[in-house]
Amino acid sequence: MAGYIEDRWLKKRPNPKTGKRERTTMYGKCTRYRVKGIPGVKDRSFDALQDAKTWLAQAQTDARRGEFVDPRDGAISLKDYIATHWWPTQSGDPSTLERIEQRVRRHIVPHLAALPLNSVGTEALRSWKKRLEKDLGPTSIRLVWATLSGVLQAAVEDRRLARNPCRASTVRPPAAAPGRVEAWPPERVLAVRAALSERYRVLVEIGAGLGLRQGEAFGLAAEDIDFEAEVVYVRR
């Protein structure tokens, strides 16, 4: 099995004359035992031989299963991991990215940024969730939670974390509210329209008649409507 322990203080072969292992030039100047030779695993040093043996056995098992995660790779702060490794790889619709950036900047970085990546565990998540509940509703907390979970899942796939704590069974985001959304009856729609100033009444007609979302309704322009074909193009 790949991997071995190197004693950096004593030479590997005994002196032919004395039968004893002589000191190396590194004697007393560095950590004594170094684990080496496991493919895909960086060398690691220990003061005690038993610690080196324990780590070697675990690393060999994890490496064989393809599950090895070097704790040194998870020592990077959450803030630095996001800024250096996670955010530069994100792509997609600009408006979606803007919302993700706001969640990270407003609700993740202020509370968790200084923690090492591998210290963001269930205890830290429970405290963080309690803080979020002071300012955000359940739906917003679920969105922020999903964003952090995406960051930590990327860290798992980057081999910096063994598992994603956001998926633990002991701490979860708020459950979605039960029940289904029901459309307003025509009387209520007409009442809301009548209460608005003339300038904004068209928004009610667009929302109720076309089913456009708020941002889509605000972004609609006259050139987006083909009156002859009776087609509306949602471009913004």
State residue 33 phi and psi, 5-degree precision: -105, 130
Res. 1: pLDDT tops 70: no
Domain range annotation of the chain: 4-65, 78-167, 186-232
Q: What is the pLDDT of residues 33-91, one digit of tens each?
A: 998 887 767 888 889 999 888 888 887 877 776 666 677 778 899 999 999 999 999 99
pLDDT for 147 equals: 96
Superfamily of domain 78-167: Tyrosine recombinase, N-terminal domain (1.10.150.130)
Q: What is the pLDDT of residues 180-231, one digit of tens each?
A: 778 889 999 999 999 999 999 999 988 888 888 888 999 999 999 999 999 9
pLDDT for 64 equals: 72
Model confidence band, residue 16 (pLDDT cutoffs 50, 70, 90) = confident
The answer to whether 126 and 171 are in contact (CB under 8 A) is yes
Q: What is the pLDDT of residues 94-140, one digit of tens each?
A: 889 999 999 999 999 999 999 999 999 999 999 999 999 999 999 99
Kindly write down the DSSP assignment for every residue of 162-219, as one continuous string: SS-GGG-SSS-PPPPPPS---PPPHHHHHHHHHHS-GGGHHHHHHHHHH---HHHHHT
pLDDT for 90 equals: 93
State residue 199 phi and psi, 5-degree precision: -60, -35
Give the number of other CB atoms < 10 A from CB of residue 152.
Answer: 23
β pairing state of 231-232 and 4-7: unpaired
Structure-block tokens of residue 175: 């459950």
Q: What is the pLDDT of residues 152-188, one digit of tens each?
A: 999 998 888 888 999 999 999 988 777 777 888 999 9
State residue 45 phi and psi, 5-degree precision: -110, 150
Instruction: Quote the pTM value.
Output: 0.58
pLDDT for 65 equals: 67
Max Cα separation, the chain? Answer: 106
Residue 153's H or E segment, with its range, is helix 138-157
R_g of the chain computed on alpha carbons = 29
